[in-house]
Amino acid sequence: MKVLHIITRLEKGGSSKNVLYSLYVENFENFLICGPSSFSENINNEKGSIYEVSNLKREISLYRDIKAFFEIYSLIKKIKPDIIHTHTSKAGFLGRIAAFLYNFPQKKSFVIHTPHGHLFYGYYGALKTAFFKIIEKILSFLTDRYVALTESEKKESLREGLGKEEIWSVIHSGIEFPEKILSKKEAREKLSLSDSSFIFLFAGRLEKVKGPDIFIKIAEHMENKGYKNNLYLLLGEGSMRKELEKLCLKKNLSKKIIFLGHRENIWDYYAASDLLIQPSRNEAMGRTVLEAQYCGLPVLASDACGLADTVKDGGIIFKSEKIEEALSLAEKFYDNSFRQEKSRLAFIFARKKDKNGFNSFSQEAMNEKLKKLYSSLTF
């Protein structure tokens, strides 16, 4: 069977990694359509044929989107897939309409969509959000199966009327965990970070939905309270970077808040830190909170969508955008015994081998569930 994946662009984020791991699902001939990106140039495509659609971009442009649609439709006709699996909103919109056209008048392909996080809150204003809800509800009639990354994402999508429960599957985004994690001392020596600093870490795209501005507000409150030995690290890139850097300069926080950009050695930063703060306004699963807990790093995260499913005893949840609550909870982690206990519980959770343990978040577990889903689709 041929499986065609469609995603708007490949970047250093969870949805892209998820799609690339999907190319390794055994017993299927895998193909990928994506928009142009520097990241895609470095991909080893031995496990699938990769096609770049030059006009497939995240930004809305009627001219480019129409051209991208016809490019996608042309490739679908060329590949003749048995399954068309779309990912994220733009590719999900264009891909499912192209699939509908390809399947008319006789159905030739099953259509699966993985949103990688819905757009029901946290992204846009009320009017734009309502518009996207209507679009997705219409597209649900063109969708044979949905894949959610967590139970919470599935439940919230069903509440919005997207399909029926029987067409939804929960398949966690696969994570490749390292065999060895550095100790905190080793990591700080490697990264030239002070042993005496209390290090807060943010890891994610610098976009509003991920809440980097909330992280900086928490940092500002901490500094105003007189905690002088703190260091705040932001891992990731995004459209808000310049705005956030200007804010830090204005607040006289530039020496305490460090923008690291993309780093390949993200696991070393988890190992070196004292607390991960994930203040997302919307999050389908939260790879970073799982990666952090695997390293024994405690987590303070918002209650946005799937984060409550992935932050267990090794972390604490706060109400999304409630900065005072987040600040109060963050202060608890200055207590060494409290922090060490959370670290111990995070480490234990990361090594559980039951159906709710970390093995269910592995790349192998994801591909096995995808294989089962694909195999269940027969005419």
In 3D space, the residue among 190, 184, 291 whose CA is nearest the CA of residue 235 turns out to be 291
Query: CATH for 2-176+362-376?
Result: 3.40.50.2000
Q: Are 147 and 373 in contact (CB under 8 A)?
A: yes
What 3-state DSSP class applies to 293? helix
Largest CA distance in the chain: 68
Query: Which DSSP state fits 261?
Result: E
For position 280, what pLDDT does the model report? 96
For position 356, what pLDDT does the model report? 65
Residue by residue, pLDDT tens for the chain (379 residues) are 999 999 998 876 556 667 877 777 888 999 999 998 755 555 555 455 889 999 999 888 999 999 999 999 999 999 999 999 999 999 999 999 999 999 999 999 999 999 988 888 878 888 988 999 999 999 999 999 999 999 999 999 999 999 999 999 999 988 888 989 999 999 999 999 999 999 999 999 999 999 999 999 999 999 999 888 999 999 999 999 999 999 999 999 999 999 999 999 999 999 999 999 999 999 999 999 999 999 999 999 999 999 989 998 899 999 999 999 999 999 999 999 999 999 999 989 888 777 667 788 888 899 999 999 999 998 7
**Global pTM value:** 0.89
Query: CATH for 184-351?
Result: 3.40.50.2000
How many CB atoms sit inside 10 A of residue 161's CB?
A: 11
Q: Where are the domains of the chain?
A: 2-176+362-376, 184-351
Q: Are 296 and 318 in contact (CB under 8 A)?
A: no
In 3D space, the residue among 379, 336, 357 whose CA is nearest the CA of residue 290 turns out to be 357
For position 221, what pLDDT does the model report? 94
Can 2-176+362-376 and 184-351 be said to share one CATH topology? Answer: yes
For position 120, what pLDDT does the model report? 84
In 3D space, the residue among 54, 63, 8, 55 whose CA is nearest the CA of residue 32 turns out to be 8
For position 117, what pLDDT does the model report? 82
In 3D space, the residue among 79, 85, 140 whose CA is nearest the CA of residue 111 turns out to be 85
What 3-state DSSP class applies to 175? strand
55 sits in which H/E element: none
Q: Are 305 and 150 in contact (CB under 8 A)?
A: yes
